[in-house]
Amino acid sequence: MLLNGNGNGNGSENGSETPAILSKPLRVLITGGAGFIGSHLAEYLLAKGAEVTAVDDLSTGSLANIAHVLERTDFRFVYESVTDETVMDRLVGECDMIYHLAAAVGVDLIIKSPVRTIETNVLGTEAVLRLARRHHKKVLITSTSEVYGKSDNHPYEEDDDRVLGPTTRSRWAYAESKALDEFLALAYHKEYRVPVVITRLFNTVGPRQTGTYGMVIPRLVRQSVEGRPLTVYGDGRQSRCFCNVRDVVSALVGLGLHPRAEGGIFNVGSEHEITILELARRIIRLAGSESSVELIPYERAYRSDFEDMRRRVPNTQRIRGLVGWEPRIPLDQTLQEVIAEFRSRIEPASSPETVRAAGVR
């Protein structure tokens, strides 16, 4: 199947439109294409007949994530930063649309490197939007549920007010930088008629996700498989909604190809809520581990002024109504996939030397 601009990622249920046949494949540029979500998105698009170019500086991505597609003639990897305008100008000019996933992510990275977080997110997005305007290309921007901050209005709806902490707490740098991305994208859409779609991703999980920057499920899975105590911060009663990455990329494709999504903001995530304490216990059970759960005060894990959100639950009525999307993969299946992957492989580093040895472009 060759994708065009009238499709969705989940088929034709609920009155949504299906992809039609084109005379040639859709050419897609994915920034952050060697990352966790980006690599799954590339895989999904290739399976649908698209031609994919992935650009990534491997600061948080990994060649291991895309090793299985590197030799394909319909896939190209470019080792570069999205802020390199010369390279990006050529890549944007060659594509039909852009999925902008490149960003600084993860609680640990955000707290330890606030300057990198802000500059990567804001400058990278501005560069992509500027080039999209120049070449008249459509852009899907991946934002985050973090932009809702510490609002108690659950489940979160896209037009809800945002409640964030003071600028003296670096915890909020990520949320504010992604909110600025949204403002910038909508401004380009309004003032320059750049076709943009904004997605707010809630907790996305699955194979290839690393625990390096504070992602909770990879960390808990590693601890359970290694027989160590599973460290849960605070009292463990804080809750999240976890969505399988394959479901998420299906949503991204559906929204990216739907003309009526342009200029809109869409929550993407599961509505199934679970406490982190229950999550840890479930991982222990599914892994067949004898590990225990250890509650750790936040100040021991982060800084004394760290703020965590008690709940983070999306309302996904908007995306369901437009493209008929909803998550299909149960949490237990996702956890089993992550456990199996951790047991089967060791995640290699992506050094510049490795990149050059691989001969990537």
- The set of catalytic residues is 174
Helix/strand/coil for 77: strand
Rounded to 5°, angle at Cα 338 from 82 and 156? 65
Give the whole-angstrom CA distance, residue 264 versus residue 42: 23
Q: Please, which residues have CB within 8 angstroms of residue 278's CB and are 6 or more apart in sequence?
A: none
Query: What are the phi and psi torsion angles at 297 (to 5°)?
Result: -60, 145
Q: Is the peptide bond preceding residue 155 cis, with omega within 30 degrees of 0? A: yes
Return the HEC string of 175-238: HHHHHHHHHHHHHHHHHHCCCEEEEEECCEECCCCCCCCCCHHHHHHHHHHCCCCEEEECCCCC
Helical residues (DSSP H) of the chain, grouped into ranges: 36-47, 85-94, 107-112, 114-135, 173-192, 216-225, 245-256, 276-287, 298-301, 317-323, 331-344, 352-358
Distance of alpha carbon 194 from its chain centroid, rounded? 22
Contact 92/98 with Cβ under 8 angstroms?
yes
3-state SS, residue 33: coil
* Contacts with 256 (C-beta within 8 Å, 6 or more apart), sequence order: 97, 99, 138, 140, 197
Helix (H) and strand (E) counts in the chain: 12, 13
Which residues are within 8 A (CB) of 49 and not within 5 positions of it... i.e. 6 or more apart? 1, 2, 3, 25, 26
Q: Cα angle at 340 between 336 and 344, to 5 degrees?
A: 170
Eight-state DSSP code of residue 28? E
